[in-house]
Structure 1
Amino acid sequence: MKLEMPKVSVIVPVYKVEKYIEESIRSICEQEYRNIEIIIINDGTPDSSIELAQKVASSYSKTLTIVNKQNGGLPSARNVGIKVATGDYLCFIDSDDMISTRHISDLVNVCEKYKTKVAYADFQLTHETNRYGENITHNVTSCIKHNILLRGFLVRKFKIHCCALIIDRKYLISNDLLFDEKLRYGEDIDFMWRLFPTLDSIAYTGNNTYLYLQRSGSLMTSQNMERVITLLDNFKITVDQLLSNYPDDRQVLKYLYGKAALAFYRTFAETSSYELFEELLIKTNYKRNVWKVVFIGNIKLSLLTISLLVSPRLFADVVKQMKTR
């Protein structure tokens, strides 16, 4: 029997978040779970974010481990955090998000209960006018087996946010699972799809304790388009490797690239001009990328794919209407 609860390393990359960092750090300091180390990765932020984080932590008599690095983006910051962490488990908290007081205790408890290497909590979307979200508790824990996890994650039955995970640190390192530092967009989905096929099962807390901040005014630009193209190119390599390494999962993985591409196109259509969206489609040979999704066995995804194949304009109109509902 363990005399002490496992140690959890909370990794917080920081870059230009002085407007949000205080509430984020406060939510970590107020965790019910006590055996925590808070690791701040200063990704070359030019503002006062680090000083504000230190001020909040000091008010709770908490010590921050601060690692300074040149700006390299979120994947590289998280990787640095993984390498310096000393906890049994680790989790990632984005520095403009918050977590409910029971978030880490819930995650550790279900990992220990079901003897899994990874667990996740639900997330809820919050806004700048209400960063604390709603206190909705389901409290029905479960253990999701490998095949159900992969299929459910593919079709979004399980909506899993990378920052709502807790992961066994030694397992992550032994499987050489780091974030792809070439990516400046979509690094979370790439990371989770390299992680999940390695798992026998994943534990689920049943509670929406991760508070994800939706910032207003985020628009896709030509620069973003190049990042999406980079993601599509690199994710194709990831999927090919998964198909080679996990042949027993082929019935799920054969749809993965098309489903991911459809999701990337959807996000771009929601947040860009139609002209820019059309340019992205042309540059990436979209029909070749998504046609398999018609046969994925999910009516909503099949219809959405058909609308894109038949009329990109219709697809763009549909997804923008869906977003406003």
Structure 2
Amino acid sequence: MNNIKVSVIVPVYNASQYIGRTLDSILSQDFDGFEVIVIDDGSTDGSLEIINNALKDSNVPHKIVHQENAGVSVARNVGIDESAGDYLVFVDADDYVSEKHLSSLYNGKTDYSLTLYAKKEGDKLTSLDTYSQDLISTDDFIKMELNMQITFNFFQLMYRSDIIKDNNIRFTPGIVYGEDTEFAHKALNYGEEIAINNEVTYFYVQHPESAIRTTEYRRFDIVRIFENIADFYSKNDKEEFSNLIITSRIPKAIFGNMNFFFYSGYDFDEVMAKMRELNLFEKLSKYEGDFKFKSKIRLFLLNPKLYYKMWKKLKNSI
């Protein structure tokens, strides 16, 4: 396995409907010098057989790791440990990439590189942000993410492997929603620059079984994740980022997810009980930012039931 420039890590759990397409898209890259590491996380639906059939005749270096079900974070961590490439790329088992994904990302110079992604839901394809520059500092990028000026997902990045391994950056086991955000923030803290290619090369597939759609109140796990990230930045002498998380990113995450539950038809009293259990009212009150959003939060905190009634009447206009 000499001259492996990039390791592509693919965690799989019961993805028999999708994993064949995913692996085909990876194996079809117009890029030399990469390996594929597939971690079957205890699948019971025939995924492992599909993986073996897809890779058995491939000339692309590959490893297939089969383990008892331990969750996507553990599977990705195993992939990191097994990797030999100079850079790491992550592809989820139900997504797929264009043939230019690796060649668009790889430059062999910067700590990170980024391409765009599109959401695919049925026949609908939605492209998101574009960038005005082709190189950005990691600090500037982090600020944009924390201010929610960009729509970012960890799989858009190619990560320099030695940064990840030397700093022991891993995914937190047991977290369903937000573990990838924590990983990306911690990784970016140790790098300098991100090269940007404004080409859509990753396709993020939305379907009824997607993890984000089946997490229920675990969407609020993102609050704990951002508290961990705030603590991490504080310990690394980046109080600006830590404060921005506490006074902006967390309140916005709470409010956004609360409204998601309302929009999805969750019971008001049940949502309020969960928010009290997680002490989210106090955390929401720490918001410091634009007047309009702060007014929404104040209205809600003053009278949650009134806010809810107004929300039902006006929906997303408040």
Q: Fold-level match, TM-score > 0.5?
A: yes
Does 2:87 correspond to 1:89?
A: yes
Match of 2:279 in 1: 285
Q: When the two structures are aligned, how many residues end up with a matched partner?
A: 309
> Shift in Å at residue 193 of structure 1?
2.5
Residues 168 and 317 of structure 1: CA distance in aligned 2, closer, same or farther (over 3 Å): farther
Letter aligned with residue 187 of structure 2 = L
SS in 2 for 1:309: helix
Residues 319 and 259 of structure 1: CA distance in aligned 2, closer, same or farther (over 3 Å): farther
Say whether the 8 Å CA contact 1:145–1:200 is kept in structure 2. Answer: yes
> Shift in Å at residue 314 of structure 1?
5.5
Which one of 97, 116, 122 corresponds to residue 122 of structure 1? 116
Percent identical pairs in the alignment equals 25
Residues 35 and 73 of structure 1: CA distance in aligned 2, closer, same or farther (over 3 Å): same
Letter aligned with residue 229 of structure 2 = T
Letter aligned with residue 64 of structure 2 = I
Does 2:230 correspond to 1:244?
A: no
Normalising by structure 1, what TM-score?
Answer: 0.81
> Shift in Å at residue 24 of structure 1?
0.8
Say which is worse superposed, 15-24 or 141-150, in terms of deviation: 141-150
Which one of 33, 36, 46 corresponds to residue 35 of structure 1? 33
Tell me, in whole angstroms, the C-alpha distance in 2 between the residues paired with 1:300 and 1:151: 21
Match of 1:18 in 2: 16
Does 2:149 correspond to 1:157?
A: yes
Residues 308 and 65 of structure 1: CA distance in aligned 2, closer, same or farther (over 3 Å): farther
Match of 1:184 in 2: 176
Normalising by structure 2, what TM-score?
Answer: 0.83
Say whether the 8 Å CA contact 1:307–1:314 is kept in structure 2. Answer: no
Tell me, in whole angstroms, the C-alpha distance in 1 between the residues paired with 2:59 and 2:38: 16
> Shift in Å at residue 217 of structure 1?
6.6
Residues 285 and 139 of structure 1: CA distance in aligned 2, closer, same or farther (over 3 Å): closer
1:47-101: CA deviations, max 9, x gaps?
1112112323346544531011111111111001000000000111000001111
Residues 184 and 301 of structure 1: CA distance in aligned 2, closer, same or farther (over 3 Å): same
Residues 259 and 319 of structure 1: CA distance in aligned 2, closer, same or farther (over 3 Å): farther
Tell me, in whole angstroms, the C-alpha distance in 1 between the residues paired with 2:309 and 2:112: 40
Match of 1:66 in 2: 64
The equivalences for 1:309-324 within 5 A come to 309-310=301-302, 311=304, 313=308, 317=312, 321=316
Tell me, in whole angstroms, the C-alpha distance in 2 between the residues paired with 1:106 and 1:203: 10
Say which is worse superposed, 266-275 or 239-248, in terms of deviation: 266-275
Which one of 221, 232, 235 corresponds to residue 223 of structure 2? 232
Letter aligned with residue 209 of structure 1 = T
Letter aligned with residue 313 of structure 1 = Y
RMSD value, Cα: 3.3
